[in-house]
Every structure is written in structure tokens, then in C-alpha cells.
Structure 1
């Protein structure tokens, strides 16, 4: 009853707040709040974002029809100082009483406090003032509409508006646009004063954005200006300026002839401006100056050398091999000047990560008519030590204290290589400690890492024809060791990798792992049932049901009685637990899962990754991204085992150096698309598919290579590892499988200031496929298994700190495939069953 009264009271309170807000509260008399714009183009309503954006005045923003920011602004008091003065200054007795508790100075300063002034300043700053119909701004809007259509070839466009003033100080504006017929381009001629430029233009005019017969668009002419400028400046015309390009267009005709004019170079001599033909420049000497941070005097040369038409100078002994630097330079002697080569050189030198802000200067040699290039490189310190200490919290640790120390040694072999050595350690307290000693700090992890990077591909054969240096190739050799103690199964792990990275073209990256080695050894296997509590609880309950232990006792973990119960069951020691008994199958499943999660893994894999995105900059809100990866493991080790005639184990597998190796093939694809709906509204969707198929020496996928579902970046209505596989009812601590399908959609909108909101829907699940899993509920058996795609919906808040975004989402299980048929849909849509998720940045 109390719960019902609370809901009723809350509903009444919200209703009062909403209805009490008067949106025209701060609209002056004889003025009108703009509540609607309507645009009619040639008699038809047009609501395209690009057309609406031409209007100078837009109605106040709303959230689901409620003008939140306007109402916040209306709540603010214009002159909070007057309230303070009326309360204290105009009431001497009250002022005197207040001054007994506070000093007079403090009382006088109350007028600037948050409650009197700051709160109202916040409401004004965060809110939105009423948009009042302004005729001058409306006239500016029709001029912008006319200019927009003019720029798209409608030279006879007529625009007008009509303001309709309604009661209660509200109003609407209707815009009418009559475009007339568009103008198309007729013959295209050109007049280029510099003969050398005439030849360059003729050679590339087939790529022109302006073609006979197409509709006039100003953007095409602007793009053609940029194309011509880029073409000239990449073919030696160092001094070319876009201002030299102009067009003559007859806008009075529906078939307009176009004339392209490119004038000579304008040069200022005193107060007069003279023109001269543009010159095409070749590159002269290329000089490279290296110096240390503490010595920026480039004129003091202590060491020099010449390498393949490059002159290298140093203010101290030259510490770099000549080839290491010149391979990063795209400016070549006797080549034509190129803006692209300059940009590539700056980017390539920065990618070496051994220099601070490289700079390039070009100096004209009037005698040889060439451009001398001076490249200035300031070395970063050879050694860099970075210690760090963090306090962390996660779904595993209640509290953790981690420390990392890394030492970077630059240019270690004089070829701009970087060696990074790292030590890391962590102590923490886990949630629901699995340590038998029940210590507070029951987590201990130490590790060491080594990374050696090269600004080139380290291979025994040349790759320049396949992967040229313009793709910025690099190599990385890495190795690491980590040891966990007093957490889980006390793992030891060793990793090693040799990978190559390159950028085939803009916004595209490729990575090839020639070697990706991972060895995981479980030290404390006897602690398994302390860690995987759900498996133990199921086992313990079954032992009570079948009388192995009484209801007051529990299976022992340390003494091995839990394992003994499993082994006795599988050896048919209990008459009631026969092979046909479903509980027998449950115990067998627990055994198989334990064996899998406690086995040592040796993974020797190779993989290739490809990613592409259309982002133009960090703040781009409309883009797509694609990531694909294929991986194969165990094939080389299988070949070695066959050639060395390694004997087979009892289960048919083979081992190398006494270690059973994993063999599988894996592929995954991830696609994300964002649409910008303007006014702070964005729609984002994501689709993911991944599958890992064991074969040869494996019947299942290693835990570290399997898939899980749920969590803040997946299906937010389930916790991490909490969803699936399939429609299985079993809930282990870590549910995983070897195939995953996921779909996500999110509508993001601006609330006020840096606070944003979102509505989302997450759909997906994991399944077992082509492995040793026998439970039909967990296995993907075809199209019919898609009915077990789980659906979670919810809402969230995001606060943008500019350098990162903090996120809070609440997910609700909308369709739960693990429930009974009549319980799957909409049975968990209440606040008590909401799953909170805290994350950094967007989930996809």
C-alpha cells in the first residue's frame, strides 16, 4: 500500500511541476514565442535538415515534447540581489539576528552565495531563453534560403514568409520558396595565362568536378578550385595560390557557358602589384639538421655525412644511422615540389617517435631555380622513465592498488628503434573472496613486459613494392610474463608476439601478427570451486538431494570431496544417478567445464586485422567504421608434432614439449554507423559477428579466445558473462561460448549543457557450435536458434568532459530467452530489476 501511495504522490508531483511551468513566462507583452516553423518549397512541405538549418530562428529545443531548457530558464530569477536585500537589508531586525550567528561581512556576502545568486545563474546558463519572433531575423532567414537555392542553380528563386500570431503570446512562421527551373552548365572553356600551367591543367581536366550538362552547384566550383590548386602544388608550382582561379558564368541563361580563368602570379613590389608567370620548381639540396633539446643552435655543426643525395648535419656526434632518417623523407633531390610529399615527410618523421615537432623550410635558389630543403629535427631524450600508481575498482576487485613503471630507450640500435621495459604489480581485495585464508588483500599480481618497435618492416625480403614507405609500415616484437597469486586459479602466463602494422590509405589500417604466442598455466586448480561458486552450489545441492551429504553439511573443497562426488557419479557409484538422469548430465557438464577452465593453454596463432572508418576528425558525428579479423592457431605446432611423430594422448590429442596445444580458426566482423540528426541528436547502430571453430588437436576453444555477452559495452540488460549460451537456464559465474551475434542501436540527444541522454536497444547472444557441447539449449542449430537472441532496452545519461565521456546506463531485460515461453517478454521491465552500467566513452 505504501508503495502505491509513493507512486501516486510522485506522479502528482511531476504533473504539478510540468503544468506549473509557463513557457511564455518571460515573453514580453506584445511579443510572441516561436513554437513552429514551416517551409514550403514549390508548394510541398520540406523538413530536410539542410533546409531547416538555413533558418536563423528555431523553436526552443524540447525533450519528448517538453521544453526542459526553456522551463529551467524561466525558473531563474532575473535579479536575485533584490530578494536578498528585501529579506535582510529592508528588515534590520532580521539582519541583526543573522549577524549574531555570522559576521556582518558574511551576511553581506550571502547575496553572492549559491542559494541566492549561483543557483539562478546556473539555471540561466544551463537553460535556454525563449525564442521570440524577430522580423529582422526572419528576413535574414529568407535571404539564406534564397542563397542556398541560388548556390544550387536556381537563379530565379523567390522567397517570402508569413508570421501567424496566436493567442497566449505564441506564434508560427511559414516560409514559402518558389525555385523556378534550375540552370545547367553548357560549354566549358578556359583561359590560363601561364603556359606551363595550361599543360598541367589539360593533363588532369578529365578529373574535373565541373562537367557540361550537370546542374550548377557552387560546391562543385569550390571543389574544382581546391582540386586545381592541389594538382598544381603537387607538380612543382610552389607559389601557386587559389586566388588566381576565377570563373565567368552566364547566370541569365538556363544553359550557362562557363569560362575558367587562371591568372599569373601576383607579386607585390612596394605599393604596386605586378604579375609574372608561375614557375615549376624542382627540389635542390635536401639538408637534414639534428640537434638535442638542450642545443638548438643549428648553425653549430659538429658532425656531417652525405647519404643518397641527402646532407645530414648534427650539432654533436650523429647518433642516427643515415638510412633510418632518410627512409622517412619523401622529398627527393631533382624531383618536383609536392605538398603531399611535404605532408608525408612531416607525418613519417613524427611516426618515428624520436623527434619533437619536426619542421621543414624551403628556400628558393635564384641561380639554379630550385628549392633548397632544410629539415630540422630535435631529438627527444634517449631515456624516459614513467612511474604511475592507481587505485582501481572493477567487477572483480572491490579495491585495487596497482603500480606500473616503464623505461623507454629511444634509438637503441641507432635506427630510431624504441625499447620499452615495464614492471607492473597489483594488490587488491576481491568481491566474495575465494581465498581460504579470507585475507582482505587476497589479490596479488606481478608482471614484466618488453616491447621493441621498429619504424619499418623487419623481414628477410624486401616489401617496398607491396607495402611502400608511404603506408608507414612498422614492426613490433613484444614479450610479457605475469603471475597471479591468491586470486582464482593462481595463473602464470607468458605472451610473445611479432606483428606488423601499416596504413594502406587514409582511414584504413592493417595489422598482421606473424606470431602470437600465449601460454597459460593454472597453479592452484584445487581452488576451482571457491572461484566458480555457482558450479559448486549446483553440485552441493545435488549431493544433498541424493543423500551423499545431509542437509546440514556441505561438500568439502580443500579435502577433495566435491571432486570425489563428481568422479563417483561418472563411475556409476550412485544407483539413482544413472546416465539417463538429467542430474547426471548436469554433473558431467560441471566436470567438463572444470576440466576446460583448469587446463593449461598453449596458443600459437597468427592473425590479420583490417579496419576502416570514415571519420574526418575527432568531433565528426556522422561516420562509419568496420573492423575485421581472421585468426588461425595450432597449424604450425600440428605440423611439428606430425613431423616429429609425437604420440597421441588418451583423448587423441598431441602435445609439444609436454603441452597440449590449441588448434582453431576464428573470424569476427564489427560494423558501426552513426547518423547526425543535427541539434545534438545522433543515431548509432552496431552489428557484430564472431565465430571460433576448434579442429584437429582441440574439441573446444580456450577460455581466453571465447566470447561472452552482457556488460556495459554489449547487452546492457545483463551483467558481463551473464547472458547465454543460447536459451540455457544454467547460470555459471562466467558464461562463454565460441559464437556470438550482437546488434545494438542507440538514440542520443542533448539534454542541456554537457549532459546528454540516450535510449538504446541491445540484441544478441552467444552459442556453442562445432565443439564438444551436447546441451541443445546452448548449441546453435540453424536459423531457428535466432529466436534465442536476447533483447535488452534502456536509457542512459552521459556527461561530456571534453577529453572523455562518463556514462551511466540502465538496462532492462525485454526478451529473455532463458525464461519459460510465457515469461520471455516484458516480465522484467521494472526498476528493481534494472541493470546499472558505468562506463567511459560511448559503448560503440
Structure 2
């Protein structure tokens, strides 16, 4: 109640703030800027960035940061001193009570001074109209349009002061007619440059008949520089490219045509006393020296040299690596022309080996001909690296948990830049209830992984299909995990052989040739202790069979409950005994009870049986994002996975055993067989001033066949959670229109759609408004419940909708996220009560997450 009152008070204070509080009598608050080009309003973030006086930012139309700034005291020191000396004896009494030094510190305290400084830091000063800055903005707008070819534009501004002490500034630009490119000529000094230019002139960004645009000239300089530096002109200077832009005086005075001359001068070299020029020449690579430990290269006695292919490799006694590994990571070739792209690829690949600190590539002109020597200096990282992590956790199942993990990294273990990682982790803590024999839990496990800087495949040379510049990597890993007093006390064993490579910064491929997972449930009899919702369903059915006169054979399956008249099924003897009695006909039951018990038993068997997953998968990732600050991009991911096909194929050669359901067994466990497909698309729109609209669409389906009639729990889909539909907790949504009948609801078909509007609030705090839609269903498996299965377009009415709002705090390295979701459309309710029935704080869901949900 106190928290609600505090939040309400804060809301009242903020809403009651006067945005004009710190606007003087003869001052005006700029509330909006508008740019009009030829009387047409222009909405362009680049143009708005040219305006010096931007209006104060708002959160959903409310000037939050401005009002936070207005809450700050303007001169807290003066106000404190005035208060202190307002009464004659106040300072003396405080000096006697606290001491003179403490009274002085009180004036520097957070309440007196610090709060105001903090409000100013996170707040925003009012934007007061300054016509000098307005005229400067006009000059920048005029220069901007001149860069687009409108050299004769005229600019004016208009101040709209229709509201008290608030103004809107309108900037008007009369563009006039644009200048056009009439002719394009060139003046190129070097013969080598001249030849390269004409070979690539067809792709020029500057063409005759085109409207003048300064950005095209800048982009053309960058294009030509890239061509020259990747065609042997190693030392080409972008400053050598200039343009002469002249108006065509032969044409009529009002015919705004321009003649462009492209100038490419010679190489300029600055000496001690003068600058000399020389013609650019195409250079070829001569000697290639690789120093594997250049920090030890000062002592020549400690080095030995190996010539391998086109490379001379200099070793120290402290570090050794196979020549082939270095040759695969360096893309310069003897007698080939110099290319900038080879330098970039070599640096990337040498960094990707994760055995060197940083590569330093230096070129030296050779005295013979147009040749250049390449020296690559490398500094090895430490061979061993030890990392640890510690965490404290709490959940509805675990009252308190403490975890500790450690990882040992051994670099270059087989002298081919192979990196071995050995990790171990464990956790221990107290359970929230003593459902099990003990009130504690423990979990420990370990992993061993080995990374190769190449695609390792027996008897096949993959370098022709997957070049080394794509940063190919092979990973072989094996791991295990043991649980005690966690669920059914699973023991798992995982093994992976996988590959990944990236042809560019925007495309990545991942292949897991083998992904083997074995899951063993140690304590199957705990099923009804763990899945309490399922137990309650079975116990509710059993309530109709508690009468000892009618069902004496069931008497031993019950024990007293919380009340004198209540009976509960005993776990595990009572639950298994009652289930068997119903299913084998020992007790005559209704058809509905038989079907319900049979469904519960099928779920128990599926979730307690051991799993063997022998899968392979491929993932394709593509994006056009240029960097972490790029907020206008898309991402696409497609993943396909198949399991059990290899084992099924060799079953005709290997006599596998079978169980009663005719399933093939490997090590006594039926292996899973299915095909799984996933598509995910994410799109961001930059709405200017750090406002972003983000959308996500996901579709996934896993179809069992052959040796399976369902999907393993670890490969199925669930709904809800901080990265899904945030109005539902994880595993609590669906399947279909069912009302979370199980503790962990899952299915093999999923649709998800997310839309989120993100905006700055104050300082490093950002806000969000979101809408999440989606659900899970069963399809083409052994589930027959019509409310849980997908039956075509008609089932789309069961798509759940959650809406809400959130806060994010940016810690630079990660983002902490709080989201509050409300059930807007709940398909689990009856048709007439699905909309807004649970749309209240009592039924809201608070989700905590790290980084953005998508």
C-alpha cells in the first residue's frame, strides 16, 4: 500500500509540474520545429539534426525530462543558507546540536543539494527561443540544400506564438531550380590509375544528366579509393581525388548546368623540408615475413626460421605453431598484386584464432621494381586462462541458491591454434518447500570443448567450398549434468560436432553435423510431486472413487488430506494404483474418466521416459545491421533440424531391439525421430531522437514420425516468458484454448508476433510499450484434445494477446529490463469473456530480463 501511495504521489507531482516554471517573463519555450521546402512539410531526421534549438523531448507527448529539471532547486546553496540564517539563533542551535562541521555537511547532503543536482543531470533544460541560433539553423538548412544542388535557395523563418510563452518555429526554404550535371571529364596523372579508372567507370556514381548531389561526389571518392587499393595501388591517398565544378557559361543564364572535371593527382610524399610527388604504380607482393612472437624478436639468437609456401615464418623458443595454420590465416600471396581486402581478411582471421593478442601488418617498399615486402608481427596470448563465475539465485521453487563455475582455457594445444576449454559448475541451495525427502537441492556438471580454426571433416578438403576468409570453425564438445532434488533428478549427456562460418559481416552459417543428447530421469516416482497440476487433476477424478463400500479395492490408495473428510491419492503408490485400476478395467469408470486418466498417464509416461536425441541441424542467419547503434535494420533466421534418420536408416543393418510399442531401442531407450523447422524475422525502424519501433515474427513446427509419435520435451515449444508473450509466465500459455492445465505446458507448433515501441525516459533509463501475440498448439502428434490441437485457420482465434509497458536501464555492457504484461485477449476463457477479463494489476505479470527480448 505504501508503494502504491508513493507512486501515486510521484505521478501527481510530475503531472502537476508547470513546463514554463523556469521560463522567464520575456522568454519563450520552443515546443516544436517544422521545416517546409517549397511549402511542403519535410519530416527528415537528418534535417532536424541541423536545427540548433530542438524542442524538449517527450514521453508519449509528456515533457518528462523537462519537468524533472523544473523540480530541481535553482540555487540550493543559497536557499539553504537563507533558511539557516532566517532565524537569529537557528544556526547556533544546530551547531550546538550537530556541530558546526556537520551543519556544513548538511548543506552538501543529497536532500539539500544532491537531489537537485541529480534531477538536473537526468532532466533537460527548457529550450528557450534564441533568434541568433534560429538564424544559424537557417544557414545550416540552406547549406544542406545547396549540397543537394539547390544553390539559389532562399530561407526564412516564422515564429508562431499562439500559446502563452510557448512558440513553434517554422523554417521555410524556397528551393528554386536544381543544378544539373551537363558534362563529365577527367584529368588523371598516373597511367596505372587512368587504366583502372576506365575499367570501372561504368559503375560511376556521377553521371551526366544527374542532379548535383554532394554526397554522390563523396561516395565516388570512396568507391574509387577502394578500387585502387584493391588493385595494387597500396599507398593510394583519397585526398588525391578532387572535383572541379564549373557552371556552363555557354548555356543560357537561367539554364543551370554544371561541368564536372574529375582530377586524380600523383602520390604526395612529405619529407623533412619538402613535399615530393610521384606517379602511382601497381605493386606486387614480394617477401612475406611472419613473426610469431615479435616481442621476443629483439634477440636474434632466440629465433629460428622456416620457409613454408610463400611465407618466411620466424619462431621464438617460447611459442610454436604449425606453419600451415599461419598460411591458412594469411591471404597475401607472393607475386600477386596488393589488395586491401587481403589485409583486412588476414587481420580478421589472425584475431579469430584466439591465440594472438593483435596482428600488426607493416609494408616496406622493395628496392627492386614495383614490389612490396610484407611483415606480419604477432604477439601470442598466454597459453592458459582461468575464469570463474559466482551467482546467487532465487525462484518459486528455490528459496536460495548459490552457484560457482570455473573454466580453464588452453590455447594452441596441438600447435594448430586449437583451443581446449574445460569447464565445471555447481550449485547448492534450499528448496522453497520440503516436497522431496530433503529441503535442499544440488546440481553439478562439466563440459569439454575443442575449437579448430577450420572445417574439419575426415578425408574431405573443404577449403574450396568454404574459403578461409569466411572464418571457418569446428567445435567438438561433450558435457554432462547431474541434478539432485530438482524435478525428476535428470542426468544428461550431450555431445556436439558443429561448424560455423561467415562469408561476410551480414551472413552466417551454422551446421551441427551431430547433436546427441541423452536424458535419464532418475526418480520417475516423483512425477506427481513435481507436476502438481497434473496430480490435482488425477486426484479430482479419484474423488468419485473414494467410497470404500463401492470401491474397497482402492482403499489403500488414499490418505487423509488437510480436512477430516478429505482424502488424497498417495504418491506414488496411490497414483499408480488408481491409474492402473481405471485403465485395466479393475474398476468400472465412466468414459470421460477413463479418457482423462488415459491422457494423464500418457503425459506421465512421455515426461518420465528417458530420451535419446540423435540430430543434425542447419541454421542460416542474415542481417543488414552495420553496428550496435544502427536502429534501422532487419534480421532473418532459418533453422531446420532432423533427428533419428541415421539410426532409422541403419536399422535394416543393425538388429535393434523393440519395446511393446514397436519402437526401436538404442541402449534400451527409444530414439526420437522428427523434422523441425523454424523461421524468425526481426525488423527495426528508427523513429528519430532514440525512438525505435521493433517487430518480430516467429513460426516453428516439429513433426514426429517413424520411431516417435511426439516431440521430446526438450525440443518442444512453450508460450509465455520475458522473451515471448510477457502477459503469461513461461509454460503457462496454451496449448490452444486450454487453460494451462499442466505445470509445464508445451506443444510442437508455435506462432509468435511481437511489436514494441522504445523511447528514452531520463538518462540511461528507457521505456517501452509492447504488444505480444501468439500461442502453441499440438499438430500431427499423439495429442487428441481438440482444444489443444491446431485445426487450420479456425484455430487462429486462439492466438493470445498481451500488452504492457516496461522500463530498461542501460549498463553499457548489458541492459536490465522490467516488463509488466496484461492479458488483453485470453483464449483460455469462454468466448464471451476473452477480451480484457484479466486486464488489471492483480492479474498482471512482472517479467525480468537481460537485454532486449528480440
1:800 is displaced (CA, Å) by 0.8
- SS of equivalent residue, structure 1 residue 60: coil
Matching of residue 246 in structure 1 with residue 242 in structure 2: yes
- The structural deviation recorded for 1:6 is 12
User: Could you tell me which residue of structure 2 aligns to residue 707 of structure 1?
Assistant: 717
Between the aligned partners of 2:161 and 2:425, the Cα distance in structure 1 is 69
Distance 1:488 1:305, change over 3 A: same
Structure 1 residue runs without a partner (length 5+): none
Alignment partner of 1:764 out of 774, 777, 788: 774
The 1:15–1:732 alpha-carbon spacing in structure 2 relative to 1, beyond 3 Å, is closer
2:442 equivalent in structure 1: 444
Which residue of structure 2 lines up, in the alignment, with residue 352 of structure 1?
353
Q: Structure 2 regions of 5+ residues with no counterpart? A: 249-254, 547-553
Classify the secondary structure of the residue corresponding to 2:292.
Answer: strand
- Give the secondary structure class of the aligned counterpart of 1:779: coil
The residue number in structure 1 matching 2:308 is 307
Q: Could you list the per-position Cα deviations for residues 773-801 of structure 1 after superposition, in whole angstroms to 9, with x for gaps in the alignment?
A: 00000000101111100000000011111
When residues 296 and 89 of structure 1 are mapped into structure 2, their CA distance, relative to the original with a 3 A threshold, is: farther
- Which residue number corresponds to residue 45 of structure 1? 41
Query: TM (normalized to structure 2)?
Result: 0.94
Aligned twin of 1:818? 828
* Partners of 1:473 and 1:500 within 8 A in 2: yes
Distance 1:777 1:130, change over 3 A: same
User: Could you say which residue in structure 2 is the equivalent of 1:216?
Assistant: 212
Say whether 1:455 aligns with 2:467. Answer: no
Contact 1:304–1:318, Cα closer than 8 Å, also in 2: no
Q: Deviations over 1:607-666 (max 9, x none)?
A: 001111222112222221111100000011111222224354321211123221000000
Equivalent residue for 1:80? 76
- Which deviates more from structure 2 when the two are superposed, residues 399-408 or residues 240-249? 399-408
CA distance in 2, matches of 1:688, 1:392: 30
1:355-504 matches, within 5 Å, as: 355-394=356-395, 396-437=397-438, 439=439, 441=440, 443-459=441-457, 460-504=459-503
Q: Contact 1:297 / 1:315 at 8 angstroms: preserved in 2?
A: no
RMSD, aligned CA: 2.1
**Alpha carbons of 1:372 and 1:280: their partners in 2 closer, same or farther (altered >3 Å)?**
same
**SS, match of residue 314 in structure 1:** strand
The offset of 1:309, in angstroms, is 2.1
Alignment check: 8 A CA contact 2:294 2:377 kept: no
Measure, in 2, the Cα distance between the counterparts of 1:449 and 1:134: 64
Query: Which shows bigger deviation, 822-831 or 138-147?
Result: 138-147
The residue that corresponds to 1:801 in the other structure is 811
CA distance in 2, matches of 1:306, 1:715: 60
Q: Is residue 2:633 matched to residue 1:637?
A: no
> What CA distance in whole angstroms lies between the structure 1 residues aligned with 2:159 and 2:144?
22
Displacement of 1:215: 2.6
CA contact (8 A) 2:755 2:770 kept: yes
Q: 2:288 — aligned with what?
A: 286
Q: TM-score, normalised by structure 1?
A: 0.95
1:65 equivalent in alignment to 2:67 = no
The alpha carbon displacement at 1:338 in A equals 1.5
1:552 aligns with 2:572: no
- After superposition, the Cα gap between the structure-2 partners of 1:26 and 1:389, relative to the gap in structure 1 and judged at 3 Å, is closer
Aligned equivalent of 2:277, options 275, 278, 290: 275
Cα distance, 1:394 vs. partner?
A: 4.3
Q: Is the 8 A contact 2:297 2:303 kept in 1?
A: no
Alignment match of 1:226 (pick from 207, 211, 222): 222
Measured in 2, the distance between the counterparts of 1:380 and 1:74 equals 53
Cα 1:74/1:843, change in 2 over 3 Å: same
Does structure 1 residue 727 correspond to structure 2 residue 755? no
1:478-499: CA deviation from partner (whole Å, max 9, x where unpaired): 1111111221111111111111
Task: Map 1:822-837 to 2 at 5 A.
Answer: 822-837=832-847
Which of residues 573, 578, 591 is equivalent to 2:590?
578
**Paired residues of 2:14 and 2:64 also in contact (CA < 8 A):** no
1:300, 1:376 → 2: CA distance? 18
1:563 aligned residue? 576
Post-superposition CA distance 1:711-767 (Å, at most 9, x none): 000000000000000001342110000010000000001111111110000000000
CA distance in 2, matches of 1:802, 1:11: 28
Tell me the SS of whatever aligns to 2:837: coil
Q: Which residue of 1 aligns with 2:251?
A: none
Question: In structure 2, what is the Cα distance between the partners aligned to 1:395 and 1:189?
Answer: 75
> Is residue 2:155 matched to residue 1:159?
yes
> What is the alpha-carbon distance in structure 2 between the residues aligned to residue 646 and residue 760 of structure 1?
52
Aligned partner of residue 46 in structure 2, secondary structure: helix
1:334/1:427 CA distance change after superposition, 3 Å: same
Q: Single out whichever of 372-381 and 813-822 deviates more from structure 2.
A: 372-381
Cα distance change, pair 167–823 in 1 and its aligned pair in 2 (3 A) = closer
When structure 1 is superposed on structure 2, of 244-253 and 600-609 the one drifting more is 244-253
Which residue does 2:801 correspond to in 1?
791
Match of 2:789 in 1: 779
Give distance in 2, aligned partners of 1:645 and 1:6.
Answer: 68
Distance 1:298 1:822, change over 3 A: farther
Distance 1:541 1:721 in 2: 22
Secondary structure (helix, strand or coil) at the match of 1:367 reads coil
**Counterpart-to-counterpart distance in 1, 2:764 and 2:811:** 7
**Distance in 1 between the 2:841 and 2:66 partners?**
29
Question: CA separation in 2, counterparts of 1:46 and 1:237?
Answer: 43
| Distance in 2 of aligned mates of 1:433 and 1:795 | 36
Per the TM alignment, residue 15 of structure 1 is displaced from its structure 2 partner at its CA by 8.2
Cα distance in 1 between the residues matched to 2:34 and 2:294: 64
CA–CA separation in structure 2 for the residues paired with 1:394 and 1:359 = 49
Match of 2:92 among 96, 108, 119: 96
Change (3 A) 1:417 1:6: closer
785 and 406 in structure 1: CA distance in 2 versus 1, 3 angstrom threshold: same
The 10-residue stretch of structure 1 (46-55 or 830-839) with the greater mean CA deviation from structure 2: 46-55
> Deviations 1:20-69 (Å, cap 9, x if unpaired)?
42222212232211122232221222233333333221211122222121
1:670 Cα deviation from its structure 2 partner: 1.0
SS of equivalent residue, structure 1 residue 464: coil
Q: Quick check: 2:149–2:211 contact (8 Å CA) kept in 1?
A: yes
Question: By how many angstroms is 1:140 displaced?
Answer: 1.4
Match of 1:258 in 2: 260
SS at match of 1:554: strand
Aligned length: 832
Partner Cα distance (2:754, 2:299) in 1: 56
Q: CA separation of 1:298/1:180 partners in 2, compared to 1, >3 Å: closer, same or farther?
A: farther
Contact between 1:302 and 1:317, CA under 8 Å: does it hold in 2?
no
Structure 2 distance, partners of 1:401, 1:12, is 37
State the secondary structure of the residue aligned to 2:568: coil
In the alignment, the residues of structure 2 paired with residue 296 and residue 304 of structure 1 have an alpha-carbon distance, to the nearest angstrom, of 12
Q: Secondary structure at the match of 2:648?
A: helix
Q: Provide the rounded CA distance (Å) in 1 between the counterparts of 2:168 and 2:830.
A: 53
